[in-house]
Amino acid sequence: MDQSFNKDSLTRLLDESSNLSINQIKRLLDKMNSAELAHCLESSPPKQRKLLWSLIDNDDEGDVLADLGDEIQQELLLEISNEELSEVVIDLELDEIVDILQHLPKNRMNMILGKMSSRDRQRIEEALIYPEDSAGGLLNTDVISVRPRHTIEVVMNYLRAQKELPENTDKLFVVSSDDLYVGELLITRIITSDPNLTVREIMDTNITPINAIQDDKEVATLFERNDLISAAVVDKNNKLIGRITIDDVVDVIREDADQNFLGMAGIAEDTFQPPGRAAKSRVFWLSMNLLTAFLAAMTINIFQDVIDQIVFVAVLMPIVASMGGVAATQTLTIVLRGLTLEQINSSNLTWLFKRELAVAILNGFVLAILIGLSTFFWFNDITLALLIAAALIINLISSVVAGVFVPLILRRFEQDPAIAGSVVVTTVTDVVGFVSFLGLATIFLL
């Protein structure tokens, strides 16, 4: 019932034709949780978004900010004073506070930290040491730790005294007297074990903690492979400094998928970003694509003589380039997925390349027969049909080379293959397609 109501509320708010009054909008917003409010803001054009933000209760602003994507979060942060922001974020989890502050200019971040208590400021500054895309940037300090010498009865009494456990607490972390990580103790083991046993007797010491400088994508992979709910985070000295929970990892996976999806089109923007900012974010890769289009046009110009004398090739040459581009995009997608999931390495790259090459050759012969027959019946020229069939096979093979090795080369040079890959591989297949078809036509038809 509540879910249905909230869905209807979102629909009404996002429908410009509903003509709700300010009081009606306010009442609908008051019924929503922070995630629903964030979704509502993300689904609204800028003007409507500012109105909705102004109507959200101050007590909810921090949680809503934490649930927003980076683009909209930074936009709304400009509307909040330093005094208000310091009050808004203080009750958030440590990783959420750090995520918000890391996107602020350094002088503003320091001003907000200066308005906090020394204890809060210290724990936030310690977390800010680590990059945003590292395990340290994800950790929370809401850790419950115990000593190996404690009995299970002592541990259970300690947990009862807490009255409320942090969210996603499925285990306790065992540390030495110097807070060095020793192992972990599942809540289920505590419940089912003899109260007279010690922590040392039932704890698990085979679990390797996550290093604070480890990449967040590697952390996500560890959680996925091991079905983790939470994991310990240690510093370079193996001292327990916090934990990462599954909700933080889900955010990493979602953001990474979102970046890869947008990157394939060379964009990274809020859905309802103003036209000027959206145009600015897209113009670079459109310009790159324009340059590559000129490169393809220059390639065609080299064979101007054959095009002038045999008009048929001008009609057919886009087919070869287009088929190669689609095939390259398919291979590129497979490789990007493998790189994202860390499935591709030096030991299996050769096998993957051979597999993609075999697929290209098989598809090439099938498609070559189809396009050859179509060309023959269309232009009644067996030589032209054979040439376009051969050019198609050549371009499909080039699409494999480009689709496999271009993202690897881009990653080696620390460029995002999801953003730059599609532009590069399309250029390669366009040029190879034109050169192969027009080159063969020059040799055999002139």
Tell which CATH architecture fits domain 275-445. Orthogonal Bundle (1.10)
Q: What percent of the chain has pLDDT over 70?
A: 89
β 240-245/230-234 pair status: antiparallel
Q: What is the rounded average pLDDT of the residues 218-224?
A: 89
How does pLDDT run across 367-389, given as a tens digit for each residue?
Answer: 999 999 999 999 899 999 999 99
**Hey, which residues does 244 pair with through a beta bridge?**
231
Superfamily for the 145-263 domain: CBS-domain (3.10.580.10)
Q: What is the rounded average pLDDT of the residues 21-34?
A: 84
How does pLDDT run across 346-355, given as a tens digit for each residue?
Answer: 889 999 999 9
For the chain, what is the mean pLDDT?
A: 85
Q: What is the rounded average pLDDT of the residues 3-11?
A: 54
Please give the Cα distance from 286 to 279 (Å, whole number): 10
Spans of all domains in the chain: 2-131, 145-263, 275-445
pLDDT for 1 equals: 37
Provide the CATH number for the domain formed by 2-131 in this structure: 1.25.60.10
Q: What is the rounded average pLDDT of the residues 82-94?
A: 84
Residue 17 has pLDDT above 50, yes or no: no
**How confident is residue 403, by pLDDT bands cut at 50, 70 and 90?**
very high
Distance of CA 197 to the CA centre of its chain: 45
pLDDT for 303 equals: 87
Please give the Cα distance from 364 to 360 (Å, whole number): 6
Q: What is the rounded average pLDDT of the residues 417-427?
A: 82
Q: What's the per-residue H, E or C state across the chain?
A: CHHHHHHHHHHHHHCHHHCCCHHHHHHHHHCCCHHHHHHHHHCCCHHHHHHHHHHCCHHHHHHHHHHCCHHHHHHHHCCCCHHHHHHHHCCCCHHHHHHHHCCCCHHHHHHHHHCCCHHHHHHHHHHHCCCCCEHHHCCECCCCEECCCCEHHHHHHHHHHHCCCCCCCCEEEEECCCCEEEEEEEHHHHHHCCCCCEHHHHCECCCCCEECCCEHHHHHHHHHHHCCCEEEEECCCCEEEEEEEHHHHHHHHHHHHHHHHHHCCCCCCCCCCCHHHHHHHHHHHHHHHHHHHHHHHHHHHHCHHHHHHCHHHHHHHHHHHHHHHHHHHHHHHHHHHHHHCCCCCCCCHHHHHHHHHHHHHHHHHHHHHHHHHHHHHHHCCHHHHHHHHHHHHHHHHHHHHHHHHHHHHHHHCCCCHHHHHHHHHHHHHHHHHHHHHHHHHHHHHC
**How confident is residue 201, by pLDDT bands cut at 50, 70 and 90?**
very high
Residue 22 has pLDDT above 70, yes or no: yes
pLDDT for 230 equals: 94
Find out whether 300 and 314 touch, Cβ atoms under 8 Å.
Answer: no
Query: What tokens were used for 249?
Result: 């990892």
The answer to whether the 2-131 and 145-263 domains have the same CATH topology is: no
Question: Which among 395, 403, 397, 400 is positioned nearest to 440, based on CA atoms?
Answer: 395
Q: What is the rounded average pLDDT of the residues 240-262?
A: 80
pLDDT for 23 equals: 84
